[in-house]
Amino acid sequence: MNHHVKLFYSRRLSTLSNVQVSQTNKLSINEIREKRLSIFDKELKRQQALITRLEKIEVSFKGLNNESTTLIMNKGVSTPFNCAQHINELLTKQSVVAEINGEVWDMHRPIPSDCTLKLLHMKAEDPQQASLVNKTFWRSCSFLLGAVIENSFEDDVPAVLHSFPPANVRSGSFVHDVYLNLESWVPTQNDLRKIAATFQKFIRNNMIFQRLDIDSTLALKMFEDNVFKAEQIPHIATKSNSGQSVTVYRVGDHIDISRGPMIASTSLVGRCSIASVHKLESGIYRFQGVALPSDIYINHFAFGILESRARKQNPARIPELSAKT
């Protein structure tokens, strides 16, 4: 590794100047992201163009204290967030995820037909709803962690996102498993703080989670630069209703695969810490973090307990690694 590269790495993550990396001629992460965004935007416009005329649907909103409101919305266009806009501003800020006819539903996902709507927030009193919201929050944090990790390494050390396990709040940490072309890397506390600072900066942009269901062939084109996603996509598609579609989400310039649902926007994420990184097998590193919703506050000592728990290696299944970069 030449001296210039060492200095660049030291400004990013200090420990990277002490590890072995191999040089590659692959596209930069910025070029990869631009290509994925182009495919996403083109497909979104194509799907939107399929709606040639607006049809009205009835949305029966069920709120607190059995309040009920019927809204006339646009089929395949209006979203739960749009419904919240018609009710009151507080709902647009607090609602994390929706329920459409009892099915958990993204706030910015179009509603396809007449339905009953509930809007869930982070302080849900019903235990089942609280569990749904917590899992959605944890899953979204794993997604965001992947976005941040990709930007925490220079192109000479490509961070290839593998996957993140199902949300499990009881595990103590949200997780993203990433392939790094590093023989051995043990990040310092300063490295972890830098990643956490990048995470905080990213979420402050108040970006929404956009969901898009795409054909598996298009998904393969979108993720052709990621050998792990290319391997996973055919299997993921077989589990879809059509047997050939894949769900992707976009936040800002980052796109990844997930069945979802996700939270409405990054503004719902508050205090965050990247607690640890554990090396697993075959170059896979498990990044672990802990975060609080933006409207929940605890003191420094209590958050320290959560951080301590999140440092222990998350027990989620270690991903199988058959594809090679």
Q: Tens digit of pLDDT per residue, the chain (325 long)? A: 332 222 233 335 555 444 443 344 478 899 999 999 999 999 999 999 999 999 999 999 999 777 899 999 999 999 999 999 999 999 999 999 999 999 999 999 999 999 999 999 998 888 999 999 999 999 999 999 999 999 898 877 889 999 999 999 999 999 999 999 888 899 999 999 999 999 999 999 999 999 999 999 999 999 999 999 999 999 999 999 999 999 999 999 999 999 999 999 999 999 999 999 999 987 899 999 999 999 999 999 999 999 999 999 999 998 876 655 4
* Cα gap 114→45, rounded to integer Å: 24
In the numeric block, the tokens 């339905």 are attached to: 115
**For the chain, which domains are there?**
3-44+134-311 (3.30.980.10), 56-121 (3.10.20.30)
* Cα gap 296→142, rounded to integer Å: 19
Is residue 290 within 8 A of residue 172, CB to CB? The reply is: yes
Distance from the first to the final alpha carbon of the chain: 20
- Residue 123 φ then ψ, to 5°: -110, 40
Is residue 111 within 8 A of residue 78, CB to CB? The reply is: yes
pLDDT for res 74: 98
Is residue 94 within 8 A of residue 40, CB to CB? The reply is: no
pLDDT for res 13: 55
* Cα gap 15→17, rounded to integer Å: 5
Is residue 148 within 8 A of residue 195, CB to CB? The reply is: yes
- Residue 284 φ then ψ, to 5°: -85, 130
pLDDT for res 116: 97
pLDDT for res 60: 97
* Cα gap 103→54, rounded to integer Å: 24
Contacts for 241-244: CB closer than 8 Å, 24+ residues apart? 244/215, 244/216
* Residue 178 buriedness (CB in 10 A; 0-12 / 13-18 / 19+): buried
pLDDT for res 322: 65
Q: Which of these, 120, 165, 124, 170, lies nearest to 259 by C-alpha position? A: 165
| Alpha helix stretches (DSSP H) within the chain | 3-12, 29-49, 80-87, 89-94, 127-150, 189-203, 216-222, 227-238, 300-311
pLDDT for res 321: 66
